[in-house]
Amino acid sequence: MLSCRHRLLPEEESFCWLRTSASSEDRPSLVFLGDGGHPVRCTAALAKACPFREAGEESKEDMVPCPHCRRRHRNGSNSQQLCEAWSSAKAALALLRKELPEGRRYYEQGTIVPPYDEGTTPLIRRLVWQRLQPAVLRRDRYRCQDCGASFGARRRKVYDPRLRRGRGGYRWESLEVHHIIARSAGGSDHPGNLKTLCPACHASYTHEQSVARATERRERAAMLRALEEAGYEDGSVYDPRD
């Protein structure tokens, strides 16, 4: 198998994470995308024909044993970073099982503490999130943590009277993983900040957050208008003692 540093596992067939020039730290954009916008799996044939392949050093001295998966990774590679970050996230899940009572294995108020090192790259964060979602669903036993609706699996078939122009029909409904403290408010992907919700309960949270953001914008606009009317539109510093 040909080696390439753009693979998640450089020495084996795995997904290609080669970024385009439009990529940023927060919004990575990949050169090769398959159906549905997913990364392309780099096979031996693709690696042989790929003009962007970077083999790097082939020395086995760069390969180090991994205490988490019991395999060997190239030192500093994405696969090594993923193993470390995912192991840290699993440790956080295990700690919650010990700390919190049966039936509620997340923090009611959420948390902003990440389950991995602060310096973890956006790519590794996204890969850990993909693994955390099914892990949280299993932890919550495929049950909505607000209304108690049990799915028995990740999704269920429900009857919807609005389908087929009002004649009704069945559709699939999936459980969703909710951030107790929203990412936009500084919430993390820590399992203590995640809980399972049905679509209806999740939609109610989304609506509440939208209303709160709109209220905050209106209040800020009103405050700025009041400051302008009070004569602070010239850029002078507002002093509440005035």
Span 1-13, pLDDT tens digits = 677 878 887 778 8
Long-range contacts of 81-84 (CB under 8 A, 24+ apart): 81/120, 81/121, 81/124, 82/8, 82/124, 82/127, 82/128, 84/116, 84/117
Beta-ladder partners of 211 = none
pLDDT of 241 strictly over 50:
no
Give yes or no: residues 118 and 188 share one domain: yes
**What percentage of the chain reaches a pLDDT higher than 90?**
26
What pLDDT shows up at residue 235? Answer: 47
Give the residue-averaged pLDDT of 114-124.
89
Domain enclosing residue 1, as ranges? 1-58
Shared domain for 119 and 194, answered yes or no, is: yes
Domain count, the chain: 2
Query: Which of 121, 12, 125 minimizes the C-alpha distance to 73?
Result: 12
Is 166 part of any domain? Answer: yes
